[in-house]
Structure 1
């Protein structure tokens, strides 16, 4: 069985057949119409059982022991590795190879947001220490003049230099974080939400198709959403009611039918449409605050405002976060400062360009570079 998936008892069992011999099944007697009747409980493998098994496998990656990995960066690394392993194991899963790079880019965004919050905080804390270090040299009603400690001042000056937005430390009374930090934290949370939700949706689809084949995949597809009906086996689904779990989106069937037919690039396009339209759009790109922040980030980057603060909207088909724009592995969103990444109709061409570039590179001399990068990602190397 595939090395990128766990082995499960249901992998080799026949659908709608008993999963153990009758002789091993539990039996008991009951009374019906005055007669003693023997009842044998025979477990039958159903679609829902298979879906639940593969869904649990995905959950174990991001929530081992039933508890979601608290650090989104570490969670992202595991997601990246799982995607990369899918393609390395089965090259039909080309969407997963592309997703490894796209998810890695999410990890880069998480690091940037966390780093920005930290650098803002360091400057704030240094300013506090500098103020507290001041020794009074003159005082009168309404006026206090003091001399700050030289080291404290140097520490503050260095922290201020490292602060991406040193003039934006606006904090309301009682709030731990500044307005700027809260904006970075919101982007951080939304990126993590979309990243985790998409993985929980798509990984089990690949597992089912790989283990059971297209015929049973199509036969059992409508049953996936029913696994949420059993309270004994709750499904981890971070976006709650924004998107109903396990819906029968046509793009999913179209994707795996294309993969089965050997139309790999077409399968990538269908899965890309599914991820963007059915999952990420309602999960994160419909959030008004995130939309505003994304548009501001892109406009600031294109116009070179706030140098060092905004991030380029791009995907690098490499294990690195950033490569020169001239590198063929770099796919950018564009240079229109008014462009809106949250708009599905503007985002899809960008996604499909990345998919086309990935497919092209798999068929030219750059293939080895892609394979090396995916091997690094699968091995769990940190994004950088």
Structure 2
């Protein structure tokens, strides 16, 4: 037996206990929990075959009562002795995509982000927001098969694009490759087709949260998105962090959303607070360029899930929905480079260089923390990715 050391001030103490999927040399992926700088192998400490699975899906499908039971048991367990063979140093494990992604929907829930893009693309409009924006959480349906975990490099996408001065469309690598710093929320228990999930039922369905980077090829997106919205400019990759912070760990981070005016329709109203006080940090080649505040998000994740299901669409274990780009009112709080550089017209300083959009070899890291109980903080880890050169660019 052994005692897991939790350094003072650790973002991964007993108040957090995020779940992930890991392997060690010569072993199969299974479920673990991060405790300090260690990973606790749940397939060793619990007699439950769900923890020997290569994803969290089987455990998530067991439902909220089971999530709460396991969390309480883990908090007791890590306070004392644990089997030595169940403990591995974080540095010695390989982390895997934590879930089998069922469906992926990405929203557009930041008023600051939506307003900035409106000013960029529709400067003559009296309002930067589209008429529907304050009435419903706008989103698009993405591609679950290209959701990858932190550390998986992203190949620059190729596609069709047409710039304002091009006489005809051309094909080639994206020249305006961008990030979107977001949070992602994972459905643990789905809902049947024809039924709905209310905002106050959110915690019964949502298992936890991850950091999400919704990669965006802005030149491909600009040419394709009218009239049906993003497709190839988004579908080539979405990256998430490997640790899933359980919703129960975010109790101290729950806050009101900004004032929603006009008042949302009844199906989007709930009695519980599901705004979240999460601070993100974006690094570009090791240099911090933005600190987006999730607390500024206009639509809550509970409202996003309610809107997803209000037409009777089924939800499933492993569904992932992104918040959309997180941006604050200040320039250094913008969560996408199209905003940060104002459409490429205002380059930003990245170390000794100035940049607008991503170049081959660039590395992006997005990290996040949130308040825990009694003045502590909890962490989500990071999603870190490097850009590789395009393939098949001459087609």
User: Shorter-chain TM-score: which interval?
Assistant: under 0.3
Compute the TM-score of the two structures, normalised by the length of structure 2.
0.25
| Higher strand proportion | 2
State the structure with bigger RCO (CA 8 A, min sep 6), 1 or 2.
2
Larger radius of gyration: 1
| Higher helix proportion | 1
Compute the TM-score of the two structures, normalised by the length of structure 1.
0.25
